[in-house]
Amino acid sequence: MRPAHLLTWAWLLLAGGASALEVAAVVQKVQERYDATRDFTAAVKQEMTIASLGKTTTATGTVAFKRPGKMRWEFDRGARDIIVADGSTLWFYQPDEQQVLKAPFEEAFRSTTPISFLTGAGRLAQDFDASIDGTSPDGRLIFLMLAPRSDSATGAGAAVGKLRLTVASDTGEIRGAEVHDPLGNVSRLQFEDIKRNQGLSDDRFTFQVPPGVDVITAPMAR
């Protein structure tokens, strides 16, 4: 899409709202970009707001994804929190607590879980109701709101919250994400220095429990 056409399209979205066809076109572009991405790494900034405490915390770190179902997040919060998914198990290591939370991948990332799309577990058009939630002033970024469908395979619906993606309007690349949970908590993620299709090794997505650390197994959902 040429820059002039891009800005005109963005202005129309802001002025009159997006039609179903326009929303579908954005969803398709994002899905196609993601389908062509075998893996990616990025620097990440996180801002997390806890509604019940009225408190916002920030952290910086790195993230790596590899399809299907592999990811590694590392956040510096004084100690270095690590979240790893190896395709079958999710590990969440908190050094300050001297514990690791362990959960089955399929339980943690059902198709209607907001962050599931980034792991390859979800399909935008099938699992979410999408809408355009505005654009950046220069029209280069589109904000795509995704609400899990209550009639999807898991039937979880609104119980798992919403996902708001920041995507590049020319390529469909994901530049950021906001995860809204049912309790009003919001986690905002901004991706920078994105690198795609580097051929990441599976070794990057393995987790070894450090000596002396307690492993807590998350209860299975019913």
For residue 136, give the nearest of 6, 16, 43 by alpha carbon: 6
Cα radius of gyration rounded to whole Å, the chain: 18
What is the per-residue pLDDT for 143? 94
What is the per-residue pLDDT for 118? 65
pTM over 0.85: no
In a domain, 162, yes or no: yes
Residue 144, beta-bridge partner list = 132, 165
**Residues in the chain, overall count:** 222
For residue 86, give the nearest of 216, 217, 205 by alpha carbon: 205
In a domain, 48, yes or no: yes
In a domain, 196, yes or no: yes
- DSSP letter assigned to residue 138: T
Domain extent, residue 184, equals 3-217
At 109 the three-state DSSP class reads: coil
What is the per-residue pLDDT for 107? 67
What is the per-residue pLDDT for 108? 62
What is the per-residue pLDDT for 5? 41
Q: What is the spatial distance between Cα 76 and Cα 74, in angstroms, rounded to a whole number?
A: 7
Q: What is the spatial distance between Cα 145 and Cα 49, in angstroms, rounded to a whole number?
A: 18
What are the structure tokens assigned to 215, written together?
């492993």
What is the per-residue pLDDT for 22? 84
What is the per-residue pLDDT for 191? 93
What is the per-residue pLDDT for 215? 92
Q: What is the spatial distance between Cα 189 and Cα 84, in angstroms, rounded to a whole number?
A: 17
Report yes or no: 119 and 110 within 8 Å, Cβ to Cβ: no
In a domain, 213, yes or no: yes
What is the per-residue pLDDT for 151? 53
Q: Considering its fold, how many domains does the chain have in total?
A: 1
CATH code at 75? Answer: 2.50.20.10
Q: What is the spatial distance between Cα 52 and Cα 131, in angstroms, rounded to a whole number?
A: 28
pLDDT one-digit tens code per residue, 138-162 = 989 999 998 877 654 444 444 457 8
For residue 125, give the nearest of 98, 102, 152, 100 by alpha carbon: 152
What is the per-residue pLDDT for 79? 72
In a domain, 143, yes or no: yes
Report yes or no: 93 and 41 within 8 Å, Cβ to Cβ: no
Residue 46, beta-bridge partner list = 59, 189
What is the per-residue pLDDT for 154? 43
Question: How would you label 34-71 residue by residue, b for 16+ Cβ within 10 Å and e otherwise?
Answer: beebebbbbebebebbeeeeeeeeebebebbbbbebbb
For residue 196, give the nearest of 40, 51, 50, 55 by alpha carbon: 40
Residues of the chain with pLDDT under 70: 1-18, 78, 107-122, 150-160, 220-222
In a domain, 222, yes or no: no
In a domain, 204, yes or no: yes
Report yes or no: 193 and 42 within 8 Å, Cβ to Cβ: yes
Give the N- to C-terminal CA distance of the chain in Å, as an integer.
47
What is the per-residue pLDDT for 84? 92
